[in-house]
């Protein structure tokens, strides 16, 4: 099946021992705190939290293998791209200490590609890698750990209105249905000789060639949404404040987690305001070059 829920109840999972609201709040604090820093020493603290969450989550490697390879592949790609071009990092450091310069033995239209390996670029790539990986690990864990059936009540519990919170539930409910519709359309068009993998041409041409998939899937979604709206209206959705059948209750450990998240966020912002945590390169390394 194209769409399968990644969530399941896991034995001894650290994440799952918390109320989902508490984890979402902690996750939010974690993300904002991580974004405050470029200093790899600070970032390692967050990376440590992310690794701890991963190894105690009860998620098996074979379940997350593809997601991880994909995300880490993207993270590596961008880190290396920044390293090669030197762009992106120039906002956080002013001067560069050259380790070595590689000059290509050829020229293209008078331009000779040059690769400058500097201490700053190298450290920037490392910092970027640690920073983004920390956030990626924490984000990947969410669909594997939080019960989609509780998304609605989780957001309701975080103070969002009924309609918005229920929309979260509804999205979770219909993702597999739309996944199935997508697969049907894909099969129907493949049976007419359509080969998605052989799409070529410029960007506009490529998007246009997605029409045979995108149009039927969209039309189907629109037709379906009419029925879904009818079904909701017919059962009095939105007439007043609703009762949520599932109940979430904060335990002591949930309060501790939230307090810890908020504490980390406050400390991070304070450090940021005081000027700590900016891009850092070891002094000793700079002295070598």
Binding site for other proteins (CB under 8 A): 1, 5, 148-149, 169-170, 172-173, 176-177, 181, 184-185, 187-195, 211-212, 214-216, 219-220, 223-224, 227-247
Residues 6 or more apart from 93 whose CB is under 8 A from it? 120, 124, 279, 281
41 and 114 Cβ atoms separated by less than 8 Å = no
Q: Residue 156 Cβ, how far from other proteins at the closest point, in Å?
A: 11
* 122: nearest Cα among 197, 49, 177, 40: 40
Q: How would you classify residue 37: left for phi > 0, otherwise alpha for psi between -120 and 50, otherwise beta? A: beta
Q: Which residue, 116 or 220, is less far from other proteins as judged by CB? A: 220
Q: Which residue, 114 or 236, is less far from other proteins as judged by CB? A: 236
Q: Which residue, 11 or 197, is less far from other proteins as judged by CB? A: 197
116 and 98 Cβ atoms separated by less than 8 Å = yes
111 DSSP β-pair partners:
108
Q: Residue 213 Cβ, how far from other proteins at the closest point, in Å?
A: 8
Using CA atoms, how far apart are residues 149 and 246, in angstroms rounded to an integer?
9
Burial per residue of 222-239, b for 16 or more beta-carbon CB atoms within 10 angstroms, e otherwise: eeeeeeeeeeeeeeeeee
Q: Residue 28 Cβ, how far from other proteins at the closest point, in Å?
A: 24
Q: Which residue, 195 or 283, is less far from other proteins as judged by CB? A: 195
Q: Which residue, 196 or 259, is less far from other proteins as judged by CB? A: 196
Q: Residue 22 Cβ, how far from other proteins at the closest point, in Å?
A: 21
Q: Residue 251 Cβ, how far from other proteins at the closest point, in Å?
A: 20
Using CA atoms, how far apart are residues 152 and 165, in angstroms rounded to an integer?
5
Q: Which residue, 100 or 235, is less far from other proteins as judged by CB? A: 235
Q: Residue 173 Cβ, how far from other proteins at the closest point, in Å?
A: 5
Using CA atoms, how far apart are residues 61 and 34, in angstroms rounded to an integer?
25
Is residue 56 exposed (0-12), middle (13-18) or buried (19+ Cβ within 10 Å)?
Answer: middle
Q: Residue 183 Cβ, how far from other proteins at the closest point, in Å?
A: 10
Q: Which residue, 72 or 213, is less far from other proteins as judged by CB? A: 213
* 267: nearest Cα among 282, 277, 257: 277
């Amino acid at each position: 099946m194209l769409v399968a829920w990644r969530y399941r109840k896991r034995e001894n999972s650290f994440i799952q021992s918390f109320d989902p609201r508490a984890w979402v709040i902690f996750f939010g604090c974690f993300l904002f705190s991580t974004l405050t820093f470029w200093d790899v020493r600070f970032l390692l603290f967050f990376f440590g939290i992310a690794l701890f969450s991963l190894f105690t989550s009860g998620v098996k490697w074979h379940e997350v293998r593809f997601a991880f390879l994909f995300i880490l592949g993207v993270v590596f790609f961008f880190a290396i791209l920044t390293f090669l071009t030197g762009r992106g990092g120039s906002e956080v450091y002013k001067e560069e200490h050259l380790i070595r310069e590689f000059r290509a033995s050829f020229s293209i239209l008078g331009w000779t590609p040059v690769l400058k390996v500097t201490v700053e670029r190298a450290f920037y790539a490392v910092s970027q890698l640690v920073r983004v990986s920390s956030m990626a690990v924490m984000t990947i864990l969410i669909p594997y750990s939080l019960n989609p059936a509780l998304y609605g009540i989780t957001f309701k519990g975080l103070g969002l209105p009924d309609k918005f919170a229920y929309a979260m539930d509804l999205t979770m409910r219909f993702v597999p249905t739309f996944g199935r519709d997508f697969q049907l359309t894909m099969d129907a068009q493949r049976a007419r000789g359509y080969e998605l993998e052989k799409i070529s041409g410029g960007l506009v041409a490529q998007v246009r060639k997605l029409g045979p998939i995108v149009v039927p899937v969209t039309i189907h979604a629109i037709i379906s949404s009419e029925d879904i709206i009818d079904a909701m209206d017919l059962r009095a959705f939105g007439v007043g404040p609703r009762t949520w059948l599932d109940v979430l209750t904060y335990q002591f450990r949930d309060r501790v987690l939230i307090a810890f998240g908020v504490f980390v966020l406050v400390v991070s912002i304070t450090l940021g305001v005081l000027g700590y945590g900016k891009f850092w390169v070891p002094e000793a390394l700079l002295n070598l070059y």
